[in-house]
Structure 1
Amino acid sequence: MADKTMNDEKTIIRALFFDLDGTLLTSEKTLAPSTREALRACREKGISLFIATARTPLLETMLGWTEIELGFFDGGIYCNGACEKLHGQTRYAFLPAAVVAGCVKAVESFPGLHLALQLKDELHAFNCPLANFAYPLWGIDPQLSVPLNPNVFNQTVKILIYFENLVDSVTDLPSSLVNLCQTICMDQANVYLTDQGKVLQITNSQTSKFKSIDHLRRQLNLKPEEIAVFGDDWNDLEMLTGFPNGVVMGNADRELRCQIRYQTQSNDEDGIAYALHTLLGLI
């Protein structure tokens, strides 16, 4: 834990950006009561709140969020920054079609490996159907899935590669697959190995959580030091180190935690409330 707090440096925080899984959400994928109260207290003080997640914007169906939960937030970045939402407007960054085609072909060489293309307007294309129980957890209606073919390659916002159904993945991805995808993507796409090596996430190289947060920050006329960002996984590293007020969760990988200036408690130990009260001094 850092010896001094952000409040010691008289930082004025005007906006907060939260990763979801492992950060804002508990291990049960819910908002802890302490987190709800902390978010409510921040909003009452005029602080803007934003989501910064790898998920798509389907939080109503994925997490069962109602207007109460959604009402905490002023917008957000999704799909690791490839989708931005602010002031009722949505902005996408698509992968090059050749990258998508190469990754689809690469997956075919690994038996049992699954791939999903997350598309514009939150449509999905799968190389293999999900188990019935998994569709609600993805937040999608299986009947609204579109065929996986070259027609959707230029509409792809993010690629997900995984075993099982992603929501229940227990099998690590082979390093040869990861290396192959990195070779295919080169400088055209970001390749993130997350979820303890069980999920590969691929997005346009011109996007990232850091870049999209910085884009929203400039639209909001805020200085970098006027925002704080929260995360717990390797796809959060750039944003956690790219802004002065990066807060890593106590449940993050030890190697990741060592690179971040501020560390709070875990997502199951009121880590968000602790950070907002003790580290930032906002509530």
Structure 2
Amino acid sequence: MGIEVIQMTYKCVFSDIDGTLLNSNHQISERTKNKIQELYQSDIPFVLVSARMPKGMSYFLDELKIKEPMVCYSGGLILDENKEVIYSKGFSVEMAKRLFEYIKYYYQVPVSFYIENRWMVDEIDEGIKEESKITGLTPEILDLTNVQKVHKLLIIADKNIIEQLEMSLKEKFTGLKIYKSKDTYLEIMDESVSKASAIQFLCDKMKISLHQVVSFGDNYNDLDMLLLTGKGFAMANSAKGVLESISTHTLSNDEDGIVYALENLVGE
């Protein structure tokens, strides 16, 4: 693979969760935990950046025994180290309802709604059950009463349906970011939301230069983050297009790729 040793001083680390921080068993290895705790003791923030909702992320911070900000919904919601909302960007309930009606009429698949710390679904199938098992969360029955803003819609379906749905939604709707986070997962958010813009927001707030930031990811929604930061590492298990777009690679999520890269960085 040809892993490069980088000489730089870094002051903050941003990491995706699934396929990056977590191994194939959806766990954080002891070696990775120890490295992150070492960073925390050295006042180097380790910030989780994910398409997940806050509840699907916060228990990892508890497991790691650290207090840091979290970037949820791929940048649509940012919480500070006390889990207070400091940034929120979504789309209107009216837009969410239009999307929902279109998806149900033409594709008849479940639709997940994510609003701050709530996950709501209109029906539960095997895909929703599997997502619940992976995240450890239980969805609520869909009820948009008093909801002002939707952070994300998620559709889990057969990859052929997802491909067709992605194309048709992009033709039909504007002002949205519509992308596959897996072959069977389609995510819909406001077009202005990105991991890169969230990182810029937090770096400005922490008064840290982007050149002093390291990031890790494995999928297409990580690309803007990996390209923005001083050094962005693609995990060896990354999607092919990510590996082709990012010049600096590390070992896979099953080989403690985060630790490997950080131990080849010379910094304070």
Asked if these proteins are the same fold (TM beyond 0.5), I'd say yes
Amino acid at match of 1:179: M
Partner of 1:31: 28
Q: Confirm whether residue 84 of structure 1 aligns to residue 84 of structure 2.
A: no
Deviation at 1:201, TM superposition (A): 0.8
Q: TM-score, structure 1 length as denominator?
A: 0.84
Partner of 2:6: 6
- For each residue in 1:171-220, what CA deviation from the matched residue of structure 2 results, as whole angstroms up to 9, or x when unmatched? 4434321112223442x12112121x211111112221110111011000
Asked if the contact 1:117/1:125 (under 8 Å) is kept, the reply is: yes
Aligned alpha-carbon RMSD (Å): 2.5
Distance 1:223 1:67 in 2: 27
Asked if the contact 1:123/1:146 (under 8 Å) is kept, the reply is: no
Which of 263, 267, 271 aligns to 2:253? It is 267
Distance 1:124 1:4 in 2: 41
Asked if the contact 2:162/2:185 (under 8 Å) is kept, the reply is: no
Which of 100, 104, 114 aligns to 1:104? It is 100
Partner of 2:189: 203
Deviation at 1:149, TM superposition (A): 4.9
Distance 2:218 2:100 in 1: 28
SS at match of 1:258: helix
Distance 2:72 2:229 in 1: 18
Amino acid at match of 1:128: E
SS at match of 1:59: helix
Distance 2:188 2:73 in 1: 9
Partner of 2:181: 194
Q: Summarize the alignment of residues 219-258 of structure 1 with structure 2, pairs less than 5 Å apart.
A: 219-258=205-244
SS at match of 2:253: coil
SS at match of 1:31: coil
Partner of 1:94: 90
Distance 1:5 1:185 in 2: 44
Asked if the contact 1:82/1:93 (under 8 Å) is kept, the reply is: yes
Partner of 1:183: 171
Partner of 2:200: 214
Q: Confirm whether residue 118 of structure 1 aligns to residue 103 of structure 2.
A: no
Distance 1:29 1:22 in 2: 8
Residue segments in structure 2 that go unaligned for 5+ positions in a row: none
Give the total of aligned pairs. 264
**Percentage identity across paired residues of the two chains:** 20
